Amino acid sequence: MNGFQGQLEGLLLAILQQGPLHGYAIASELRARSGGAFEVPEGTLYPVLHKLEKEGLVRSRWEKVSGRRRRVYAASPQSQNVLRERFESWQRLSRAIDSVFGPAPEGAGD
Amino acid sequence: MNGFQGQLEGLLLAILQQGPLHGYAIASELRARSGGAFEVPEGTLYPVLHKLEKEGLVRSRWEKVSGRRRRVYAASPQSQNVLRERFESWQRLSRAIDSVFGPAPEGAGD
DNA sequence: CGCCGATGCATAGGCTATCGAGGTATGAAT
DNA sequence: ATTCATACCTCGATAGCCTATGCATCGGCG
């Protein structure tokens, strides 16, 4: 089994593909794109971002905006491959769950 | 956030809607329906079944098949409602993740 | 100036779903 | 009798995620 959880990393990578953002903005984007479904708390967000950075999938730099310092995260080049894998993995998972829920009626597809 | 995990309960309920099955058979059905994607180990399966029973969503009885005793699980009536909720919840989750992954480029659909 | 709310980043500790390893028992085959 | 396959079960560990909390800076206010 397994594969249900751990999707958050992929979602963050997906968001950062459009361009660098800082933590708060990432959370906002995630909320917006998911239609309000995903409300990621900071205690979840930052550890995941740091993990992604340690894995070389994002890079961060400090930026100063009107005195306040922000950490801006950007997707690394190799994150594109990882993102694609994650997405495909998600699609497989999603289809598998669909076919368990719905008994996959007539075999037209495929 | 949250909602990724805990899908397994819904999947088991879905499988038991077609009729009573014992543990091993449930695992086989799950594997078959998911196209081999879900290989639930016994250390995961049985605790979940027991939890579902404690919640009144399945009922079990011991059966004797050629000397070997099996525990056969059956979906309770109220499990239908729960299953529907779980499925809808899954669909929302699934759509939300899709729309984060794919920025929903052309606005043809929906 | 000193306080407060909002922004923004961060960590520690805990909860829960899932998993791996191990244990029990029966029947059939060797 | 030993081994294999079926079938059930439980305990302890792991991993993702969350709650609570803390720190620092800015802007407004008295």
Any A CB within 8 A of B99 CB: yes
> Which candidate, A15, A37, A35, A14, places its Cα nearest to that of A26?
A15
A53 CA → C25 C1’, Å: 51
Q: What Rg do the C-alpha atoms of chain B give, in angstroms?
A: 17
What is the Cα–Cα distance from B85 to A87, expressed in whole angstroms?
A: 26
Q: Which domains does chain A have, with CATH numbers?
A: 7-96 (1.10.10.10)
Are A38 and B87 inside 8 Å of each other by CB?
A: no
User: What is the tens place of the pLDDT at every residue in B19-62?
Assistant: 999 999 999 999 999 998 999 999 999 999 999 999 999 999 99
Place of tokens 């059966």: B63
Among B16, B34, B91, the strongest candidate for a mutation testing the A interface, having the largest count of A CBs within 10 A, is: B34
- pLDDT by residue (tens digit) across B50-103? 999 999 999 999 998 877 889 999 999 999 999 999 999 999 999 999 999 986
Q: Are A101 and B17 in contact (CB under 8 A)?
A: no
CB contacts of A99 in chain B (<8 Å) are: 33-35
Q: Is the CB of A49 under 7 A from strand C?
A: yes
**Does A7 reach chain B within 8 Å, measured CB to CB?**
yes
Per residue in A1-34, pLDDT (tens digit) is: 655 668 999 999 999 999 999 999 999 999 999 9
Euclidean distance between CA atoms B104 and B91, whole angstroms: 17
